[in-house]
Amino acid sequence: MNTQTTRSPQFYLTAPATCPYLPGEVERKVFTHLSGPRASEMNDLLTQGGFRRSQNIAYRPACESCRACVSVRILADQFRANGSFQRVLTANADIIATVLPPTPSAEQFSLFRRYLDSRHQQGGMSDMTALDFAVMVEDTHVNTHLIEYRLRQEGSGIERRPSGQLIGVALTDFMSDGLSMVYSFYDPDLPKRSFGTFMILEHIRRSAALGLPYVYLGYWVKGSQKMHYKTRFQPQEHLKPEGWALYDPETDG
């Protein structure tokens, strides 16, 4: 007889709040805690079910009158970079990406603050301190890493932590079926590099090289201009009530 007990996650509902993406809408989220020895397994299952991770919390929208937030994942093993994506890759051929443990640094936080001050002055993260940043990175019970992107420096070679200028950072969960981009930021003073696009392309390459089929991008919000970029990476799937389905921009866009 099996006497072991299985701890099921407990889910909670947030109070209504102003939607940050669509004017006039109110958002609510359902969330649960990720902790204990099964945290990574639970994070995989919840991400596959449309949840996102923030520190040790997994959440997904639970709005009463709106279903605009749609989970998106890129089919990394089927992705082929078109001309514009190839130009982005060429523009960043001098970048070295290094996977590191989730341990924050002062250099990372300095870049993070520059990014927020330039791109998200009015956002919910605009007043984050060095301690807040450290908690965002370190407060995790799942298989997560920091990926640093640095300029290749003459004579530095490919070291564990190259010494060139830090250009971007991604906080990424390594899951059983893909990579989930939890949060990323980059140097706002280098627009010609299209570095946000480059980091997604690099994650697609990395996922395919690892034999993992997906890159999870979080939520796409139809009608939100700031989310429009996510649909550029084809092919991709959107999570619908009946499950994950291939997205067709000609009919669903």
Q: Would you list the domain boundaries of the chain?
A: 12-68, 73-252
Phi-psi region of 129 (alpha: psi -120 to 50; beta: other; left: phi over 0): beta
Strands 166-174 and 57-61: unpaired
Q: Categorize the per-residue pLDDT at 4 as very low, low, confident or very high, splitting at 50, 70 and 90.
A: very low
Q: Categorize the per-residue pLDDT at 222 as very low, low, confident or very high, splitting at 50, 70 and 90.
A: confident
Q: Categorize the per-residue pLDDT at 157 as very low, low, confident or very high, splitting at 50, 70 and 90.
A: low
What proportion of the chain, given as a percentage, has pLDDT over 70? 90
What's the CA gap between 66 and 103, in Å, rounded?
37
- Identify which of 33, 32, 154, 151 has the alpha carbon closest to the alpha carbon of residue 98: 151
What's the CA gap between 84 and 101, in Å, rounded?
32
**Residue 119, pLDDT score:** 77
Q: Does domain 73-252 have CATH number 3.40.630.30?
A: yes
- Read off the pLDDT of each residue in 237-250 and give the average, rounded to a whole number: 92
**Residue 6, pLDDT score:** 45
Q: Categorize the per-residue pLDDT at 5 as very low, low, confident or very high, splitting at 50, 70 and 90.
A: very low
Phi-psi region of 218 (alpha: psi -120 to 50; beta: other; left: phi over 0): left
